[in-house]
Structure 1
Amino acid sequence: MVLLEASTVSLPVIFGSEFIGTAILILLGVGVVANNLLGRSKGFGGGVLHINFGWGLAVFMGVYAAYKTGGHLNPAVTLGVAAAGKAELAPGVPTNATNIAVYLVAQMLGAMVGAGLAWAAYKQHYDDPGAEPAAKLGTFATGPEIRNPFWNCLTEAIATFVLIFWVLTSGYTQGVTVGPLAVALVIVGIGASLGGPTGYAINPVRDLGPRIMHAVLPIKGKGGSDWGYAWVPVVGPLVGAMVAAGVYRIFWS
């Protein structure tokens, strides 16, 4: 009860904010990849910048939806902010174990629901016999162009370091008028510069939630979910977030 009383933002609001924001992020993010990769879609073959800008705008809209909680939408952000020693995860949300847990659960469930909605929007394209299993998985989850777990993990850590360090030094979302657009441009920039090797998950639930949905949804001819790679886009971003938090504490706190 002490933890609840200390927060000016209630736990249901924290959950709802991060859940809805993350669901919108993943719905639009998975959607833009599906539009690009699935045959007979009007955006088929739009290219990597199409995907990068689509993800950037997905973040823009997701952060706006989750403004009450700072629009984290990403466990790497939440844990990075906490590890950096910030007193609040967002204005009115004290940094404590209960609030962190609610953020993480909401983000994971939101990611799964968002991926499910994207599948529903493109169901006929997923069921098209001409759609390759690799393309179907690629709409849900990231994968490396050159598979080497160490280097793939390092790429994800470096890209996530850039994101989390920016978050920590920019003052979270900087308010709902500037912050969402700024972080959207950061996401586009990271994708354009560092997204080539792995598809830049930079967010554990961005990959794990949709990958779970790929495994459980009734997608015709979908093939496997590549669970052997699934740890990389979880561990890499978390490592990058912790390094960013450590650097922040040493030089900026």
Structure 2
Amino acid sequence: MNPLFGEFIGTALLVLLGNGVVANVLLSNTKGHNSGLIVIAFGWAMAVFVGVFSVAAISGAHLNPAVTVALAVAGKFEWARVPGYVLSQMLGGMMGALLVWVMYRKHYETTDCADLKLATFCTGPAIRSLPGNLLSEVLATFVLVFAILSMVAPKMSLGAMDALPVALLVLGIGVSLGGTTGYAMSPARDLAPRIMHALLPIPGKGSSDWGYAWVPVVGSLLGGTLAALTYTHL
């Protein structure tokens, strides 16, 4: 498989399962309605696990523009390949969001709150304070990327279980740092689904909150870059 298609598939799986658990928890009349942050954090961790082990051997399973840019900054990935990877990740994120909408379409119709519908596509702040929200995204992505760069592959491969440390990392970030902004940490996880929210015919969907959309994008790219620079200098 072409690595670019691998990034597309992996990111689509990531967003399908990640935003899928958010939809299951937040939308009306679902089996998982109101099951809480722990379920969302665990679901996102498993989404990362599935996405990573599915395409790690094909593309390296970046699945995140912030990770791709950080790896290039750290000298572990060619800059010439960055645009193709980022585009594939963004398209994969859009596809994953589309599939969540298809899966939960009837539940979008029975949910009255526009904010809950938006939350199944992208993140938003618990308390809107853009400087603080930006700092939250920077810190969360810094932890993500620094830990990924610090991981040492075992001498004996565990196969699919090689993806487990990354999944546990995302679980830890979710339960510890996810309470302020929802720990987007990736334009492919936040901006790409937000675009789909704007495009899809969701009844009563309200605003896509474009005034906030730059925060998870800038925050994740800045946090990942700072993590790469810190890692290389250490």
Instruction: State the TM-score, normalized to the length of structure 2.
Output: 0.95
Quote the residue 2:61 is aligned against: 71
Aligned length: 231
26, 41, 45: which one aligns with 1:37: 26
Instruction: Give, in angstroms, the shift of residue 171 of structure 1.
Output: 4.3
Instruction: Give, in angstroms, the shift of residue 173 of structure 1.
Output: 9.9
Quote the residue 1:54 is aligned against: 43
Q: What do residues 123-159 of structure 1 show as CA deviations (whole Å, max 9, x unaligned)?
A: 000111x431010001101000111111101100000
Quote the residue 1:169 is aligned against: 150
Gap change, CA 1:42 and 1:171, over 3 Å in 2: same
Instruction: Give, in angstroms, the shift of residue 75 of structure 1.
Output: 0.6
- Partners of 1:77 and 1:100 in 2: CA distance: 10
8 Å contact 1:70–1:173 — kept in the other structure?
Answer: no
Quote the residue 2:140 is aligned against: 159
Aligned AA for 1:78?
T
CA RMSD across the alignment: 1.5
Gap change, CA 1:224 and 1:206, over 3 Å in 2: same
- Partners of 1:82 and 1:173 in 2: CA distance: 23
188, 201, 217: which one aligns with 1:205: 188
Aligned AA for 2:105?
K
8 Å contact 1:173–1:183 — kept in the other structure?
Answer: no
Structure 2 gap segments, 5+ residues each: none
- Partners of 1:125 and 1:84 in 2: CA distance: 43
Gap change, CA 1:105 and 1:224, over 3 Å in 2: same
Aligned AA for 1:103?
Y
- Partners of 1:49 and 1:118 in 2: CA distance: 20
Q: What do residues 11-46 of structure 1 show as CA deviations (whole Å, max 9, x unaligned)?
A: x71111000000000011111000000010010001
User: Relative to structure 2, which stretch is displaced further, 67-76 or 186-195?
Assistant: 67-76
70, 81, 104: which one aligns with 2:71: 81
Instruction: Give, in angstroms, the shift of residue 70 of structure 1.
Output: 1.3
Instruction: Give, in angstroms, the shift of residue 172 of structure 1.
Output: 7.5
Gap change, CA 1:141 and 1:249, over 3 Å in 2: same
Q: What do residues 44-98 of structure 1 show as CA deviations (whole Å, max 9, x unaligned)?
A: 0010000000000000000112211111100111110110112xx3xxxxx241x
Quote the residue 1:186 is aligned against: 169
- Partners of 1:148 and 1:172 in 2: CA distance: 39
- Partners of 2:124 and 2:47 in 1: CA distance: 20
Quote the residue 1:8 is aligned against: none
Work out whether 1:119 is the aligned partner of 2:119.
no
222, 229, 234: which one aligns with 1:239: 222
Quote the residue 1:23 is aligned against: 12
Q: Larger C-alpha radius of gyration, 1 or 2? A: 1
Structure 1 gap segments, 5+ residues each: 1-11, 90-94
Instruction: Point out 4+ residue stretches in structure 1 off by more than 3 angstroms.
Output: 171-178
